Amino acid sequence: MTAVAGLRWQWITENGEEPTSVDRADFVRHFTAWAAEHASSHRCTVLVRDSAVIGMAWLAIVRRVPTPYAPDRASGDLQCVYIVPEARDAGLGGRLIDAVLSTARDLGLERVTVHSSPRAIPAYARGGFESSPRLLHAHVGRATEFR
């Protein structure tokens, strides 16, 4: 998880943000503790090349309200798909997406959603994701500081 935390930090800094409320070591400690606490609801899949973690994807599992037909329902949300820049455009993102969807099928999830950057939409479409006029979202805030 330390390597995965490093990827998450790299992703943020790659997008031009430099965290000021926490240093990297504190973030890594927080991230690894968070991952351990949420292991039952958040599954991480990684790509490894030459013993280095070069990619990650998270499947957040959300329990759904039961119905008389399905008393134990769950859906997934694909989160934090990231490949290091030097390994991009080689189909690795697609492999991560496929692996996460395979995990979702194994878990019996009803569906998996994803919030994508415009650049990644084609990769998700190749993986079987479709646009839906019924899936809506509301922005209710953004975490602005490390807690």
Task: Tell me the pLDDT tens digit for each residue of 98-124.
Answer: 999 999 999 999 999 999 988 899 999
- Identify the pLDDT of residue 147: 36
| Sequence-distant (≥ 6) Cβ neighbours of residue 13 within 8 angstroms | 19
Q: pLDDT band at 144, cuts 50/70/90?
A: low
The better pLDDT of the pair 147, 43 is held by 43
The better pLDDT of the pair 20, 10 is held by 10
| Sequence-distant (≥ 6) Cβ neighbours of residue 129 within 8 angstroms | 112, 114
- Identify the pLDDT of residue 138: 86
- Identify the pLDDT of residue 20: 85
Q: How far apart are CA 48 and CA 39, in angstroms?
A: 20
4 in Cβ contact with 46 (< 8 Å):
yes
- Identify the pLDDT of residue 18: 83
Instruction: Using the predicted structure, report yes or no on whether residue 66 has a pLDDT greater than 90.
Output: yes
The better pLDDT of the pair 115, 146 is held by 115
The token pair at 32 is 């690894």
Q: How many helices (H) and strands (E) does the chain have?
A: 4, 4
59 in Cβ contact with 42 (< 8 Å):
yes
